[in-house]
Amino acid sequence: MEELAVSQARDHLGEAVNQVQYGREMVYLTRHGRRVAALVPVEVLEAIEAAEDAEDVAEAASALAEPGPDFPLAEIRAALGIPPRTR
């Protein structure tokens, strides 16, 4: 993993992208010596997104399985002051 100052990244973006794309490495972008962003291979980001999606689906399924009262949409719209739908 390499660290690259944002000010240097402006001049070396193509090289950094090649390092990530072809070298399968991550490049951290720093500002004043602190990591502020990262360039990562797209496969890594896609894996993170897929894991987040799976977690969201699991949480939604869990929430749907919880017991609780059902409220008709018309009742909710009325409570929020939203006019009924017209077709």
Angle among Cα 21, 19, 7 to the nearest 5 degrees reads 120
Kindly list the distances between the CA atom of residue 24 and the CA atoms of 3, 42, 84, in Å, as whole numbers in the listed order: 15, 10, 54
- Residue 85: pLDDT above 90? no
Give me the domains of the chain, ranges plus CATH numbers: 2-65 (3.40.1620.10)
Return the pLDDT at 87. 74
Per-residue pLDDT tens digits for 8-45 = 998 999 999 999 999 999 999 999 999 999 999 999 99
- Displacement of CA 2 from its chain's centroid (Å): 23
- The reported pLDDT for the residue numbered 86 is 79
Rounded CA separation 87/70 (Å): 24
CA 72 from centre of chain: 32
Q: How many helices (H) and strands (E) does the chain have?
A: 3, 3
